Amino acid sequence: MSGFSLERGLQALREEMDAPVASFFSSCVHCGLCAQACPFFVETGDPKYTPIHKLEPMRLLWEREFTLWGRLKHLVGLGRKVTDDMLAQWEPLLYDSCSMCGRCSLVCPVGNDIAYMIRKAREGMVASGHAPEGLIAASVRAVNTGSPMGLQWKTLEVQIKHVETSSGLEVPIDRQGADYLVLLSSMEIINFPEYLEAITRIFDHAGVSWTLSRQCFEATNAGIQIGSKDIAATLVQRVVDAAEALGVKNVISPECGHAYTAIRWEGPNAIGRSYPFRVFHIIEVLDQLRAEGRLRTEGKEMDRLSMHDPCNLARKSGVIDQQRHLMDLVADNFVDLKEHGKFQWCCGAGGGVSSNERAEALKMAAFKRKKAQIEEVEPERMVTMCATCRTQLEEGLEEFNMDIPVVGLTEMIADHLVEKERA
Interface ranges with another protein (CB under 8 A): 1-4, 8, 11-12, 14-15, 17-18, 22, 65-68, 71, 126-127, 129, 131, 133, 136-137, 139-140, 142-144, 228, 230-231, 234
Between 106 and 117, CB nearer to another protein: 117
Residue among 165, 252, 178, 179 nearest 217 (CA):
252
Residue among 343, 256, 313, 407 nearest 36 (CA):
343
CB of 11 to another protein, least distance (A): 5
Measured distance CA(303)–CA(93) in Å, rounded: 40
Q: Are 299 and 338 in contact (CB under 8 A)?
A: no
Q: Are 20 and 338 in contact (CB under 8 A)?
A: no
409 CB-near residues (< 8 Å, 6+ apart): 255, 283, 286, 307, 323, 326, 327, 383, 384, 385
Query: 343: which strand partners?
Result: none
Element (H, E) at 305: strand 301-307
Between 63 and 197, CB nearer to another protein: 63
Measured distance CA(423)–CA(29) in Å, rounded: 68
Q: Are 340 and 309 in contact (CB under 8 A)?
A: yes
CB of 277 to another protein, least distance (A): 26
Element (H, E) at 250: strand 250-253
Between 64 and 258, CB nearer to another protein: 64
CB of 144 to another protein, least distance (A): 6
Measured distance CA(141)–CA(149) in Å, rounded: 7
CB of 62 to another protein, least distance (A): 9
CB of 405 to another protein, least distance (A): 36
Per-residue CA distances from 125 to 40, 74, 94, 351 (Å):
20, 23, 9, 15
Measured distance CA(194)–CA(185) in Å, rounded: 13
CB of 5 to another protein, least distance (A): 10
Between 129 and 268, CB nearer to another protein: 129
CB of 94 to another protein, least distance (A): 16
CB of 16 to another protein, least distance (A): 8
Q: What is the DSSP string of 70-94?
A: HHHHHHTT-S----HHHHHHHHIII
Residue among 218, 249, 254 nearest 236 (CA):
218
Q: Are 100 and 94 in contact (CB under 8 A)?
A: no
CB of 358 to another protein, least distance (A): 14
Helix and strand counts by DSSP (H, E) for the chain: 23, 8
Between 14 and 420, CB nearer to another protein: 14
Residue 417: strand, helix, or coil: strand
CB of 120 to another protein, least distance (A): 12
Between 130 and 201, CB nearer to another protein: 130
Backbone angles phi and psi of 280, in degrees to 5: -130, 155
Between 65 and 360, CB nearer to another protein: 65
Between 107 and 137, CB nearer to another protein: 137
